[in-house]
Amino acid sequence: MTAFCLALLAGAVVGLSLGALGAGGSVLTVPALIYFLDFTPEHATTAALLIVLTTSLLALFTHARAGAVRWRLGLLFAAAGVVPAALAGAYHSMVPPAVLTGAFAAVAAAAALTMLRGPAPAERVRPVRAAGVGAGLGALTGFLGVGGGFLTVPALVGALAVPMTTAVGTSLLVISVNAGTAFAVRLGTVAALNWALIGPFAATALLGAWDGKRLAAKLNPVALRRLFAVVLLAVAALMLTDALFL
């Protein structure tokens, strides 16, 4: 299979995940760019930010049309992550590739375990805790190029008592803000990226995100989340092995 076809296929999977689950798709973006399309970890995390940003914005639009976004709360939550996202995006290039790969393996494993565990029960609203989580998610996005939806959705449900019916859409708003901030900081490095592969990847990701919400309505959400979690665990194991031998 050619690199172009792999880019199309990988992008579709990422978009479907983001649209259906509001989470997890960006965790697949970086390993797909590294192992299928031969990107370096640094270039993969930068390209992932753009792909995550565009797909999240489209998925956010579909959720907004359904009235499933808490705009004010989402923007306040995202505001806590803007500065950490910018700082992490500015200094990510100083980190060795093996460390980036190992850190990404840990994030993929955490995403898988979070999805297997399912959403946390609603608790009393804790603004300080929510701000801390928002800052951490911003740093995670800037450093590794992931949206962090697998952490944002449980945080919105558990720390801010947001219903699951609006948590996914609100998560996409947070992801869009963090990814946009981190990508803006990295604009000086985008000239080195392989746009001939990023273009088709992003295009099919956009199409997948558009259909993801409708797909979720037709499938068992628990089974879908568990299947995706198993895939992420396999990705984490592969990347951890790779990091140890880089």
Distance CA 199, CA 114 (A): 31
Using CA atoms, how far residue 42 sits from 23, 31, 48, 68, 99, in Å, is: 22, 12, 10, 34, 11
Q: What is the pLDDT of residues 19-59, one digit of tens each?
A: 666 555 667 788 888 888 888 888 888 888 888 888 788 77
Output the pTM of the full model: 0.76
The answer to whether the beta carbons of residues 235 and 34 sit under 8 Å apart is: no
| First vs last C-alpha separation in the chain | 26
Q: Which residue has the higher pLDDT, 173 or 56?
A: 173
CA distance 108 to 23: 11
Percent of the chain past pLDDT 90, that is, above it, reads: 2
Question: What residue has token string 């037709």?
Answer: 218
Q: With pLDDT > 70 as the criterion, what percentage of the chain qualifies?
A: 81
